[in-house]
Chain A
Amino acid sequence: MKCGFCGYEFDPEEAGTACGSCPLVKGCHLVRCPRCGYEMLPEAKLIIWLRNLKNSTINRAGKTVKEKST
């Protein structure tokens, strides 16, 4: 994911989550940019699902083209 403040690209899996110390919003999982500390929300599940759907559709289409050409 890309930091909305400094533009640094990083893997949200490796970046620290931000809200661990907040007693009222346990589990909100904000992601902290490792370079500048700016905090962002991880992408919504629906967006991730849509992206995966798009990628798998493209992959399937690619496989079909390969199979046809062989």
Chain B
Amino acid sequence: MQESIANPRILPESNGASCHGGPNVDTSGLPLIAIVGSPNVGKSVLFNTLTGAYVTVSNYPGTTVEVSRGKGRLAGQPVGVVDTPGMYRLVPVTEEERVARDILLQERPAVTLHVVDAKNLERMLPMTLQLIEAGQPVILVCNLMDEAERLGVKINTTALEQVLGIQVVATALTTGRGADRLKEVVLSSLNRNGHSAAGCANCESKPAQVAVVQYPPAIEDALQQIETQMYGSYQLTHRSIALLLLQNDAGVAALVAAQEGAQYADVQATVKAAQGRFSQPLSLVIARYQREAASRILQKVLTQPVRRVSRFAEKVSEATMNPLTGIPLLLLSMYLLYQFVGVFGAQTLVDFFENSLFGAYVNPWINGLLATYVPWPAIRDLIGNQYGVITLGVRYAIAIILPIVGTFFLAFSVIEDSGYLPRLAMLIDRVFKKIGLNGRAVIPMVLGFGCDTMATIVTRTLETRRERVLSTILLSLAIPCSAQLGVMLGMLSGRNDLLLIWAAIMTGIFLLVGLVTARLMPGERPTFYMELPPLRLPSPKNVFVKTYTRMEWYFREVFPLFIIASLVIWLGRLTGLFDLAISALEPLVRWLGLPDQTAVAFLFGFFRRDYGAAGLYDLRNTMTGVQILVSTVTMTLFVPCVAQFSVTVKERGWKTALAIVVFIFPFAFLIGGLLNWLLMVLGVKL
């Protein structure tokens, strides 16, 4: 993905007449103002302030990222304005950041407005430093000043201007505060630099070299050496290009390789030598120095209220991330989760809904009504009897899945609101690195326990293709969704031995497949850094809101799919296709040592894995311990549901999606069969 700079397909359309070109809105010959910054800092408001009616929003060529462009006037002087997608740093990780960086590199803005949230200046100032280092004509816009002042934050903008050597404007753009001053500053900057509608005198000039961050001597030496080895002309300073090379920016590496030709080998050798002198990736080292530089600057110009952090909360927070204490705490959390979801939800609540409500009242009443008033057997089968929409679809959704996902959603909301999830990401980062993933991959993995379909979409936030494919495989294979996990816990409830064996097998397969795939797809080990929110006691109000919202989503999104699945099964039975599919699956379930009826559950599993799991749950009283274990392991590994498969096709392409299914289907039955055979040979009776 990072090769986009060198990829001519993504370059914006240019008429060649001007240095400031862009698609749709013709800003030819006009000085270009680029608005950059993190999401949600008020970039769009500023864009609307600077532009008038001449605005278009379109995808950046070759991507699905939207970019807004427009024309405006500053004291009668026409200007072009581009609102770039959110970016946090100059080294891009996401596609949005890549597009934003490409705009800075390709379109040569006359002024770059870096919009920051004044409340979070410390977090955002490192990017200002990177833009200054890159030689961009930056003006810092400290927006949301009204909110910052309400929180007691004060910024001495004059002092900040002196330290940074750029102009700083304080604004609250939603109320219009500071907008006029900002326009004046932009205009004077354009005039000072010789940019006007009549011509852009400085567009072809090289960016000025500025060093605002002092890095350790080994990095400074490497930067100087690389700068002397480069002769090409770039839109960023040589120092900034060298910094990006040291951070393994593939896009910039391709650009430098193209510009420098044979000389690039020397640059590469210097980069490799510098990287070899540090045990940590240089992206982490450089980011740390930039953060420290920002903190030092802000000590002189920023006043903010003192935050009180409980020492106890700090100690617990550290304990959750230290492997020695973090792993026992993780196991304890999982045990409590099992007690609540697997025992209370899947046994007590399901027993009530399944037997006392549907078994005793709803199903007999529906079947009785159908027998009395509906003379057509096909319609009776559609609504009631063994596979009817109400007696099967609604019963599975309300009596089996709902109590289980309800308790799971409640427990998950408590965990989420406490701030434990990012700490889990930090704890697991070490294990994940071994299998070629980083802690960031914890996000889709955790989401996978909610819904594998949306988690597959989230894998696009991972840095490399290797990580994205690996995560998609692991999500499809070894991460059960919330409903499926709940039903699995229900299947194994009351049998701690089965639960432990199942958990051990799933963890083993997760690590084994991860390791093997990482070996088959060699690549660099990614780095991971994230800010931690405070650890706190969950707020009952937040937990209620999150649980209710998820339950509402369940009914709106998932419930209709159960009904549709029942309809498809009914149609399949009418046409005979259902029986045909079951006959095809029967030899497979016999090989697993399972009763023939379980073939129906596996067929359900093609529609939704939780639907299939509910089918197995329905049969669990007729199965032995070994059969429950084998069927649970096989169903957990079973092929992704229709929704997840279609999303995988969309995100990874047909080839990868089909390869994943072709691997998973036999693999699930192979593992199930081997487990059954092993238990049989060893004479284990569970």
Contact B443 A34 (CB under 8 A): no
Task: Tell me, rounded to whole Å, the shortest Cβ–Cβ distance linking A44 to chain B.
Answer: 4
Whether B643 is near chain A, meaning CB under 8 Å from some CB there, is yes
With A23-B650, A28-B553, A41-B550 as contacts: A7 and B39 at CB distance below 8 Å: no
**Which residues of chain A have C-beta atoms less than 8 A from B193's C-beta?**
none
B553 contact from A4, A15, A18, A41, Cβ within 8 A: A41
Whether B531 is near chain A, meaning CB under 8 Å from some CB there, is yes
Residue of B nearest to A45 (CB): B552
With A11-B40, A39-B447, A44-B552 as contacts: A4 and B458 at CB distance below 8 Å: no
Q: In the bound complex, how far is the Cα of B548 from the Cα of A15, in angstroms?
A: 22
Contact A5 B646 (CB under 8 A): no
With A21-B647, A21-B651, A25-B557 as contacts: A6 and B454 at CB distance below 8 Å: no
Whether B530 is near chain A, meaning CB under 8 Å from some CB there, is yes
Residue of B nearest to A4 (CB): B416
B77-100 contact mask (Cβ, 8 Å, vs A): 1 or 0? 000000000101000001000000
Q: In the bound complex, how far is the Cα of B561 from the Cα of A55, in angstroms?
A: 37
Whether B457 is near chain A, meaning CB under 8 Å from some CB there, is yes
Whether A65 is near chain B, meaning CB under 8 Å from some CB there, is no
Contact A7 B40 (CB under 8 A): no
Q: In the bound complex, how far is the Cα of B546 from the Cα of A29, in angstroms?
A: 15
Contact A28 B557 (CB under 8 A): yes
**Which residues of chain A have C-beta atoms less than 8 A from B461's C-beta?**
36-37
A4 contact from B417, B531, B561, Cβ within 8 A: B417
B549 contact from A6, A11, A19, A47, Cβ within 8 A: A47
Q: In the bound complex, how far is the Cα of B645 from the Cα of A24, in angstroms?
A: 10
A22 contact from B88, B454, B553, Cβ within 8 A: B454
Contact B647 A4 (CB under 8 A): no
A44 contact from B421, B443, B549, Cβ within 8 A: B549
Main secondary structure, interface of B, reads: helix
**Which residues of chain B have C-beta atoms less than 8 A from A35's C-beta?**
38-39, 88
B548 contact from A10, A37, A42, A44, Cβ within 8 A: A44
A7 contact from B443, B533, B647, Cβ within 8 A: B533
Contact B546 A21 (CB under 8 A): no
**Which residues of chain A have C-beta atoms less than 8 A from B40's C-beta?**
10-11, 14-15, 34
Contact B422 A14 (CB under 8 A): no
Residue of B nearest to A47 (CB): B545
Task: Tell me, rounded to whole Å, the shortest Cβ–Cβ distance linking A43 to chain B.
Answer: 6
A21 contact from B39, B425, B650, Cβ within 8 A: B650
**Which residues of chain B have C-beta atoms less than 8 A from A18's C-beta?**
454, 457-458
Residue of A nearest to B425 (CB): A5
Whether B12 is near chain A, meaning CB under 8 Å from some CB there, is no
Residue of B nearest to A43 (CB): B549
With A11-B40, A23-B647 as contacts: A37 and B443 at CB distance below 8 Å: yes
Contact A6 B557 (CB under 8 A): no
**Which residues of chain B have C-beta atoms less than 8 A from A41's C-beta?**
549-550, 553
Q: In the bound complex, how far is the Cα of B647 from the Cα of A20, in angstroms?
A: 10
A43 contact from B425, B440, B545, B650, Cβ within 8 A: B545
Contact B457 A19 (CB under 8 A): yes
**Which residues of chain B have C-beta atoms less than 8 A from A23's C-beta?**
643, 646-647, 650
Contact A34 B546 (CB under 8 A): no
**Which residues of chain A have C-beta atoms less than 8 A from B532's C-beta?**
6
**Which residues of chain B have C-beta atoms less than 8 A from A32's C-beta?**
458
**Which residues of chain A have C-beta atoms less than 8 A from B642's C-beta?**
24
Taking Cβ atoms with an 8 Å cutoff, the residues of A that contact B are 4-8, 10-11, 14-15, 18-19, 21-25, 28, 30, 32, 34-39, 41-44, 46-47
Taking Cβ atoms with an 8 Å cutoff, the residues of B that contact A are 38-40, 44, 86, 88, 94, 416-417, 419, 421-422, 425, 440, 443, 446-447, 453-454, 457-458, 461, 530-534, 545-546, 548-550, 552-553, 556-557, 561, 642-643, 646-647, 650-651
10 sampled A-B residue pairs with Cβ under 8 A: A6-B422, A6-B533, A7-B419, A14-B39, A22-B646, A28-B557, A34-B86, A39-B457, A39-B458, A46-B548
